Chains A and B, each alone.
Chain A
Amino acid sequence: MPKPSEQKTIVQELEKQIAELKLQEGSVAQEEITRLQEQVDLLQRSATAEDKDAWTRVLLARHPQRPYTLDYIQMLFTEFTELHGDRRFGDDGAIVGGFARFNGHPVMVVGHQKGRDTKQKLHRNFGMPNPEGYRKAFRLMQLAAKFNLPIITLVDTPGAYPGIGAEERGQAEAIAFNLKEIPKLRVPIVPIIHGEGGSGGALAISVGDRVLMLENAVYSVIAPESCSSILWRDWEHKEDAARILKLTAEDLLGFKIIDEIVPEPPEGAHADPQATAAAMRTALERCLAELEAISCDERLRRRNERLRALGTLVHES
């Protein structure tokens, strides 16, 4: 945990943001207020490493001091050169991407981006992409495939944005298209789920050869709060929902949906971002080396085998 003085500063910052967001319209802002309030509660309860039930993980994954995609890009890569736009409609602030060097080698990096202060949060749409975000992501991945650059994706989103414009511009089509077309790209792809893996909005850039996940990241078909409101008709059962949804890294490794858990410092990634990035670097180096050691055809064969086997938990009679 941060020192008591730092903690007080964080709580003050959160309370300031809560006040600012109260002036915003719409329930996205309202939900962010609820989320921030939960974080204030978490900080005041001083949740520690020993107490990591599913709900604590959800709170850690959403921790306001947790490193975001651009923070990891800064720590893992050099010469990050951001590229913008989907060449169709616009440039979505909730998705960032561009060229970078990993240990000197050129790569393409793409990820969700959340905002730290209120202004940034609005600019990044709370990390919830519109269709143009997913189309930008794919455009950059295709560019990478053309020039034989490995692709690394950094996943951290509450979900794809549910809005009128998003529907008009084909949110579902944008996600579906990525799910079908990413598997065809002939370069190594390593997605890293480092914060919130929010359903289809996360999945749309999480298809790859080897999927990594940070220890306290979560990945779920639905947010625990929403699950609670559907099944119990209130938000009070979000902790139960978090537990039964099986959204932790350990759960996902057990289901073979992810391939490796990247360890975090005992208090969580926010306590020591450099150490977290170092662990990420080690895992990424190994994965990329393994993937580049095999032929492209073999890599695609294994990728397809992996995708074909996903979540095949059925009984037959």
Chain B
Amino acid sequence: MAWFRKEKKPLESPTAEKRAQTEGLWIKCESCKRILWKKDLEQNLLCCPKCNFHFKMTSEARLAMLFDDGKYTEHDAGMSSPDPLKFVDRKSYRDRLTAAQIVTGAKDAVRVGEGKIDGKSLIACAMEFRFIGGSMGAVVGEKITRAIDRCIEKELPLVVVSCSGGARMMEGIISLMQLSKISAALARFDEVRKPYISVMTNPTTGGTTASFAMLGDLNIAEPGALIGFAGPRVIEQTIRQKLPEGFQTAEFLLQHGMLDAIVPRVDLKTYLSKTLDFMGAWNASKPRK
């Protein structure tokens, strides 16, 4: 009865057809269906210039847009999954990993960078949706936990940009344990009193939402992002009803008190810099009273 039950292909990388679309000079907006110049779109932080639909960003592009001059030091880039369950269904997990590594040029579904925002240091993690749906296995769990450990050690603020379908089924119970490991690390991070901001982007569901994505000092989201615990199809099949319009969108979550703010991508960096500063991200640490 997990969150991605009965979902059709939530963990696959983009279809060949979609990849072909993005490889051309033109791209069709998923929302307004207009045909857009890829160049225009890229210059607009991958937001539709006509309807402001927020396209998914690669983890590389995300970190580049957050850090000053797009520069950062990547941590634990070489970490990969040893396939702990030796998981084979119709395909082997090993083959799925290899395919995802070729498509993304990354070893797994999160990229961790340390760099500067408006001249001040922070660590940011960006999830990579093209890597098996941004799913969380041991590598994602360990990389984010190490990022938190580094933030504790160096008293740095943390930003995590989620884009993930949840726990990675092919690592079974190991993937479930990552929720617990990361959340417990965030509990330890509370003690140094440096801020953590969770940024939820389209989509953020399942075990990702049920752990670090909902545990920010601030929880913010990009407009229109799908955010939830169970996937919409799972809920629809459980209750046998049509879901209300706009259910599980960022706007729905804001209305239900689950988000601090919805922040358009164009304003994201400024928003992070400003609010991190409000929370004393770069103040000299004082002994606790």
Binding site for B on A (CB under 8 A): 25-28, 128, 157-164, 166-173, 175-177, 179-181, 183-184, 198-201, 203-204, 207, 219-223, 226-227, 229-232, 237, 240-241, 244-247, 251-252, 255, 257, 304, 307-308, 310-317
Q: Are A172 and B210 in contact (CB under 8 A)?
A: yes
Q: Are A312 and B213 in contact (CB under 8 A)?
A: no
Flag whether B201 is at the interface (Cβ < 8 A).
Answer: no
Taking the nearest CB of chain A, how far is it from the CB of B259, in angstroms? 10
Q: Are A313 and B174 in contact (CB under 8 A)?
A: yes
Q: Are A316 and B79 in contact (CB under 8 A)?
A: yes
- Select which of A25, A163, A223 is within 8 A of B5 by beta carbon: A223
Closest to A201 in B: B1
CB-CB contacts below 8 Å: B1-31 with A: 1-7, 9-11
Chain B CB within 10 Å, residue with most, of A161, A219, A311: A311
Q: Which residues of B contact A28 (CB under 8 A)?
A: 238
Q: What are 22 A-B residue pairs whose CB atoms fall within 8 Å in the complex?
A: A27-B237, A157-B1, A160-B230, A170-B256, A172-B229, A176-B183, A177-B215, A180-B215, A200-B229, A222-B169, A230-B6, A245-B169, A255-B174, A257-B173, A304-B184, A308-B185, A311-B141, A311-B171, A311-B174, A312-B141, A314-B82, A315-B82
Q: Which residues of B contact A304 (CB under 8 A)?
A: 184, 188
- Select which of B78, B186, B229 is within 8 A of A160 by beta carbon: B229
Whole-angstrom CA separation of A155 from B171 in the bound complex: 22
- Select which of B6, B183, B244 is within 8 A of A179 by beta carbon: B183
Q: Which residues of A contact B228 (CB under 8 A)?
A: 167, 172
Chain A CB within 10 Å, residue with most, of B3, B80, B210, B258: B210
Flag whether B235 is at the interface (Cβ < 8 A).
Answer: yes
Whole-angstrom CA separation of A226 from B2 in the bound complex: 8
Q: Which residues of B contact A308 (CB under 8 A)?
A: 145, 181, 184-185
Additional A-B contacts beyond A164-B247, A245-B172 (16; CB < 8 A): A27-B240, A164-B239, A166-B229, A167-B228, A173-B214, A200-B179, A220-B2, A220-B172, A222-B2, A222-B5, A229-B6, A230-B169, A237-B89, A247-B172, A311-B171, A314-B82
Q: Are B240 and A310 in contact (CB under 8 A)?
A: no
Binding site for A on B (CB under 8 A): 1-7, 9-11, 76, 78-82, 84-85, 87-90, 138-139, 141-142, 145, 167, 169, 171-181, 183-188, 206-207, 209-215, 228-230, 234-235, 237-241, 243-244, 247-248, 256-258
Q: Which residues of A contact B187 (CB under 8 A)?
A: 180-181, 183-184
Q: Which residues of B contact A251 (CB under 8 A)?
A: 173
- Select which of B89, B142, B145, B239 is within 8 A of A231 by beta carbon: B89
Q: Are A172 and B214 in contact (CB under 8 A)?
A: yes
Whole-angstrom CA separation of A313 from B171 in the bound complex: 10
Whole-angstrom CA separation of A128 from B256 in the bound complex: 22
Q: Which residues of B contact A257 (CB under 8 A)?
A: 173-174, 177
Whole-angstrom CA separation of A32 from B172 in the bound complex: 23
Q: Which residues of A contact B80 (CB under 8 A)?
A: 314-317
Taking the nearest CB of chain B, how far is it from the CB of A138, in angstroms? 13
Taking the nearest CB of chain A, how far is it from the CB of B181, in angstroms? 4
Q: Are A247 and B2 in contact (CB under 8 A)?
A: no
Given A179-B211, A203-B180, A221 and B2 touching (CB < 8 A)? Answer: yes
Q: Which residues of B contact A167 (CB under 8 A)?
A: 228-230, 235, 247-248
Given A167-B229, A170-B258, A172-B213, A179 and B179 touching (CB < 8 A)? Answer: yes
Q: Are A177 and B207 in contact (CB under 8 A)?
A: no
Q: Are B169 and A176 in contact (CB under 8 A)?
A: no
Q: Which residues of B contact A201 (CB under 8 A)?
A: 1
Q: Are B229 and A255 in contact (CB under 8 A)?
A: no
Q: Are B145 and A240 in contact (CB under 8 A)?
A: no
Closest to B91 in A: A231
Q: Which residues of B contact A128 (CB under 8 A)?
A: 1
Q: Which residues of B contact A26 (CB under 8 A)?
A: 238-240
Q: Which residues of B contact A203 (CB under 8 A)?
A: 176, 179-180
Whole-angstrom CA separation of A17 from B209 in the bound complex: 35
Whole-angstrom CA separation of A313 from B138 in the bound complex: 6
Closest to B219 in A: A173
Closest to B7 in A: A230
Taking the nearest CB of chain B, how far is it from the CB of A280, in angstroms? 21
Q: Which residues of A contact B76 (CB under 8 A)?
A: 316
Whole-angstrom CA separation of A118 from B145 in the bound complex: 44
- Select which of B3, B183, B237 is within 8 A of A180 by beta carbon: B183
- Select which of A173, A198, A221, A231 is within 8 A of B167 by beta carbon: A221
Q: Which residues of A contact B235 (CB under 8 A)?
A: 162-164, 167
Whole-angstrom CA separation of A315 from B82 in the bound complex: 6
Closest to A221 in B: B176
Taking the nearest CB of chain A, how far is it from the CB of B159, in angstroms? 17
